Structure 1
Amino acid sequence: MAQESTSNLSREDFDAGPTSYDKIEDNLYLGNLTAATDVKWLRKNKISHILTVDSCPLPRQIQELPDITLKYIQITDMPREDILTYFENSYEFIDHAIKSNGNVLVHCYFGVSRSATLVIAYIMKKYELTFIDAYDIVKNKRRFVGPNPGFLAQLKLYEDMGFTIDTRNIKFKLYRLQIAADKVRKAKILPSNYIDLIKPDPALETVHPEPTVYRCAKCRRIVASASNILPHSPHERQIWRHVSTKKNKKNQDTDNIIVRTINDNTDNNKQSDICKKIYFIEPLAWMPDILNHVDGKLNCPKCEAKLGAFSWISGCQCPCGSKIAPAFYLIPSKVDWSNAVQNVLVTV
């Protein structure tokens, strides 16, 4: 191990308080930045793996310690930060550490929100527990655990997806689009790490093309497939909302966490409840302007006929009263529905 002097560390914003940690279960600890930089504590508890989820990585002195495997996830403690997409990688890191008979410390700055979220996600997946049950387990071990409202909503979505990242899930698609919209609002351009949101041009699909498609009413060019449609119901607002209330029971405050995602019609509502006054769709590769403009028109890539519009920031309100943001939509009168794909390449 490193020399004793390595325990005397400095960092410009180092003010996370004294070493704070709690053992969540065998081989798994949840703590703060001070614990992750306390060499004596790391040695005493035989920490072999450290998962850091913070705005900056651990000091060089810790990074250079032998026999400790590090993983760094750069995230700030903001409700609109995307922590959900890191759940799978963090689970694999923790699981591998424990299965190799190591001890793993998961930490952020204070060990309250970001790192707690990853540990709760780990417990959910490992034991197939609901978000509420996993939350209670972790909070009973570390009493001041408190993920921010956005992270709580993402944990609930993780439960809804069956403890995995299901990229075909409508709720996940909408969630990712909303996160990307926040980035576009700030940078006025879609960041490169969100390019995966731009789906392939359905007119170019030659391997197992979908049978149900939407074509330009003027030139018959395919502009969307059924899987690209983001269904909505009348008067729906697709916004992530978190409500937290406290009740006093046996002289103790207990958190009652209620996470409401007002876009969960897509799995349970009947087909007749789906509005067809506007077709909201995923962003597609034939829409070049969406990469460097915050809003604009959507024209057929073949005949230039206007098909709809898009807006990363303002979104769109359907005549049915539903408000969706960001929004990429086709006007039903401008496209025709077809249930058979014929000569796909001819449509280009």
Structure 2
Amino acid sequence: METNEKQQSCSVANSTTRKSNASFNLKSYKVQGTLLREDFDGGPVSLDEITNGLFLGNLSAATNMETLKSFKIKHILTLDTVPLPKHILEATFLTTKFIQIADMPKEDILHNLDQCLDFIGKALQLEQHILVHCYFGVSRSSSVVIAFVMKTHDLDYQQAFDLVKSKRRYVQPNSGFIAQLKLYKRMGCKIDTQYQKYKIYRLRLAGEQVRKVKILPQSFNNLIKPDPSVTQENPEPIVYRCRKCRRILASKSHLLAHQSKSNLNVNANIQISSGDAQTPQQQTTRLLDQIASQMRKASIGSPTDEPQNNTGDEQIFSTCKSIIFVEPIAWMKNISHNTQGRLNCPKCEQKLGNFSWINGCQCPCGEEVSPAFYFIPSKVELSKAVQNVQTTV
């Protein structure tokens, strides 16, 4: 590239231009007892242009007026624990948005991605420059920019990460954010509430909150699904019933399936013809290749990353039926106010299984599910025909 072309990397370091109130103000803290954004020093100004008009940087870049004007920044997206200083927020030439989030793997950045990407997109549609930043410009802000690149360029996580990394070397989302970005991509760069892995992700978030406060926060009340026994206009045709009293307990859509990894049978599923003229070493190599190939097909080959229902020689992993894991459902008593307990049939009081927000359950197949709401298979039965569903008390 020619040296006079527009630079894609625009890192700046200029400690002399930072205001004196950017360093930690211990005296102010002792008097007021609170910390403000002005009380911290984010280090030298640092920002890089990732794509045309989209800058990724640190706090110092977002609080330095000279830098903002120099790079013609008109929009600022802040991902931090506290908002920007007042003089930045009140600047007439700036449009700002603040997302309160810490740089911790268990923090939920996934549910902020849509609004962040919408804010970035609107700024770029206006052909105006936008700065996305966190404290250091390494994890939180880079996660949002990676998500934007994934969505706009139809890239997977690694491809988007490599592109952003090539523009700014200070890029490294924490492990929790990486997992959430990959989930975001699998859902088509949007929130798909019916996607099984998303349901499990939400349950785990709720489990973390229950672990802290011992009750389910109201913000997670939508995790508890309506009682399928109540009259519906279009009831699902396949349901689980109490084996004793036939009370409807769950619809098939409530099922949280997992794959059994304990039924690997090489002799049954992988066969080498006796007529092959191969040495033992060649046969072993071919056997291993077949196992690897079939594991890829059955385990991770699906673009939706959901359990496979392969049959015949290609079935190595199948949906486990040792324990029936389901979503929380409205008839389950006390699940909002207890960390764990029994699940009894709301009609006949027969024990159906257990639940735990904090400990989870290890299935006999070896898979651990947490949080766990589950039925014991011998206590329920699958019904394949539901006609006029009546309210059951």
Correspondence for 2:190: 164
The correspondence for 1:269, drawn from 292, 308, 317, is 308
Given that 1:202 and 1:222 are in contact with CA atoms closer than 8 Å, whether structure 2 keeps it comes out as yes
- Distance in 2 between residues matched to 1:174 and 1:24, nearest whole Å: 33
- Distance in 2 between residues matched to 1:43 and 1:204, nearest whole Å: 60
Number of aligned positions between the proteins: 318
Correspondence for 2:210: 184
Given that 1:139 and 1:145 are in contact with CA atoms closer than 8 Å, whether structure 2 keeps it comes out as yes
Q: Percent identity?
A: 54
Q: What is the one-letter code of the residue matched to 2:374?
A: Y
- Distance in 2 between residues matched to 1:301 and 1:76, nearest whole Å: 41
- Distance in 2 between residues matched to 1:162 and 1:52, nearest whole Å: 25
Correspondence for 2:390: 345
Alignment of 1:221-236 (within 5 A): 221-235=247-261
Instruction: Please give the per-residue CA displacement for 1:105-144, whole angstroms capped at 9, x wherever unaligned.
Output: 1111100000000000000000111111110110011102
1:347 positional shift: 2.9
2:57 maps to 1:18: no
1:321 positional shift: 2.2
2:335 maps to 1:290: yes
Correspondence for 2:79: 53
2:169 maps to 1:143: yes
Alignment of 1:223-262 (within 5 A): 223-235=249-261
Given that 2:241 and 2:381 are in contact with CA atoms closer than 8 Å, whether structure 1 keeps it comes out as yes
SS in 2 for 1:203: coil
Alignment of 1:68-147 (within 5 A): 68-147=94-173
2:362 maps to 1:336: no
Instruction: Please give the per-residue CA displacement for 1:34-56, whole angstroms capped at 9, x wherever unaligned.
Output: 11111121122222211111111
Q: What is the one-letter code of the residue matched to 2:376?
A: I
| The structure with more radius of gyration | 2
SS in 2 for 1:98: helix
Given that 1:52 and 1:71 are in contact with CA atoms closer than 8 Å, whether structure 2 keeps it comes out as yes
Alignment of 1:62-73 (within 5 A): 62-73=88-99
SS in 1 for 2:164: helix
- Distance in 2 between residues matched to 1:271 and 1:346, nearest whole Å: 37
The structure 1 segments of at least 4 consecutive aligned residues displaced by more than 3 Å after TM superposition are 6-13, 263-266
Given that 1:128 and 1:163 are in contact with CA atoms closer than 8 Å, whether structure 2 keeps it comes out as no
SS in 2 for 1:347: coil
- Distance in 1 between residues matched to 2:116 and 2:239, nearest whole Å: 38
2:212 maps to 1:193: no
2:53 maps to 1:27: yes
SS in 2 for 1:52: strand
Given that 2:21 and 2:38 are in contact with CA atoms closer than 8 Å, whether structure 1 keeps it comes out as no
Higher strand share: 1
SS in 1 for 2:306: helix
Given that 1:220 and 1:347 are in contact with CA atoms closer than 8 Å, whether structure 2 keeps it comes out as no
- Distance in 1 between residues matched to 2:80 and 2:345, nearest whole Å: 44
- Distance in 1 between residues matched to 2:261 and 2:335, nearest whole Å: 26
